[in-house]
Structure 1
Amino acid sequence: MILTVGNTKGGVGKTTLAVNIAIARALAGRDVWLIDGDRQGTAQTAIAIRAEAGHLPGIACATYPDGATLRSQVQQQRAKFDDIIIDAGGRDSTALRAALILSDMLLVPFQPRSYDVWALDDIAKLIDEARAVRDGLQAFAVLNCADPGEVSADNADAAAAVADFPQFELLQTPIRRRKSFANAAGQGLSVLEAKPADKKACEEISALVSALF
């Protein structure tokens, strides 16, 4: 399975989700390769911190912000891994476009803010372009850094706006804004591993991973 976590809008929390998903799959016994397709290299940094601390399971990670390199490397090495997770985007980049062509599935995180909802139109157009080249790309949107609590007008309005975009399906597995995600990331960990455990954060990531895989 090749999964891209991507959006043309920056600051939506895609790297946090990509790292958490990659580690969750590794904890489930999968052989995982995490690819950082963003020039900022944040995912690569998180995995480097993880490796230096000796956390297991280890996660294979590479940085390919150039689309041509990303495409060639994935095509050459995809058979070596059970799951490939690509963190791409923050803007319309060659890496994001290459990832969409290669992927079985796209996860589009967005926050319950007007700018994020407006930006969904850009990634929707890229999905259309990718599907014109290859068949079978599944695309899902997930509300990330959602307002805490079960009832939020902003959460509800943002989720409802996804109905305007037939290119992707909204997953009913929102990830709420929790400090535990940042705390875990700073240690190169998933919230599934961090101590003390944030039960709600663990439940949310587990539900997201189950919905995707």
Structure 2
Amino acid sequence: MILTVGGIKGGTGKTTIATNLTIWLASQGADVLLVDADEQESASDFTAWRDETTDGQAGYTLVQLNGATVRRQVEQLRPKYDHIIIDTGGRDTASQRAALFASDAYLIPFAPRSYEIWTLSKVLSLLDEIQGTRASPLRVYSFLNKADARGVDNSDATSVLLESEGLNLIDFPIVNRKAFASAASKGLSVFEMTPADEKATTEAERLFTYIMQTQI
């Protein structure tokens, strides 16, 4: 399965989702490739730190790809892995478009703030272009990431996303918890932290399980 984590707004936690999903899949025995197609190379930096802190036992393979060649190279790599996770930048780039042509699913995290929701029209326009030229439909999953523990911003953002046809909102928000940053600082996923943050792991596992089960 090939899944791209993307969007056209920075700061929504795409790399956090991509790396945690990669490690979660690898922990289940899957052979996973993480593709860093983001110019900021955050997934590469995380993996380098993880390799150092785990004595080279990251548990997955990472490659850096960019530009229009992402599609061709990912398609060539598909037979070698159980899953490929592509981390793209928060802009409408050639890398992201190429990734979407090669992918089975598109994961779009949104932070529950008004300026995030303003990007909806641009995301929908990008999806229209991609879906119109693919041989088979791209599965799309949007969800709230870095959500508030409480407050009206979550519900307001959820309402707007539900009204946006084609975004397929999954109402399994991931709250902006310190555990994600703490884990990343140690080269770990939130699932590997000790002591565990049960709320964080439950939220992430619920989201990932839903996405992967609907891909079967």
TM-score, normalised to structure 1's length? 0.95
Q: Does 1:2 align with 2:2?
A: yes
C-alpha distance in structure 2 between counterparts of 1:17 and 1:82, whole Å:
18
CA deviation vs aligned residue, 1:53-77 (integer Å, no higher than 9, x gap): 2264521011113232x12211211
SS in 2 for 1:30: coil
1:179 aligns with 2:178: yes
Alignment of 1:16-35 (within 5 A): 16-35=16-35
Q: Which residue of the partner structure matches residue 139 of structure 1?
A: 140
Q: Superposition RMSD on alpha carbons, in Å?
A: 1.2
Higher mean C-alpha displacement, 173-182 vs 126-135 = 126-135
Tell me if structure 2 keeps the 8 A contact 1:26–1:57: no
Q: Is the 8 A contact 2:39 2:89 kept in 1?
A: no
Spell out the pairing of 1:188-207 with structure 2 (5 A cutoff).
188-207=187-206
| TM-score for the superposition, normalised by structure 2 | 0.94
For residues 39 and 166 of structure 2, what CA distance do their matches in structure 1 show? 27
Alignment of 1:72-91 (within 5 A): 72-91=72-91
Residue 42 of structure 2: aligned partner: 42
Query: What's the offset of the Cα at 1:124?
Result: 1.4
For structure 2, the residue ranges without an aligned partner over 5 or more in a row are none
Report how far residue 163 of structure 1 moved.
2.3
SS class of match (1:169): coil
Aligned length: 210
Aligned to 2:167: 168
Residue type at the aligned position of 1:199: E
AA matched with 1:63: Q
Instruction: Tell me the percent identity.
Output: 44
Deviation at 1:40, TM superposition (A): 0.4
Partner of 2:112: 112
**In structure 2, C-alpha distance between the alignment counterparts of 1:85 and 1:26, rounded to whole Å:** 11
Q: Is the 1:27–1:57 contact (alpha carbons within 8 Å) kept by the matching residues of 2?
A: no
- Show structure 1 runs of 4+ deviating over 6 A: none
- Could you tell me which runs of 5 or more consecutive residues in structure 1 were left unpaired when the two chains were aligned: none
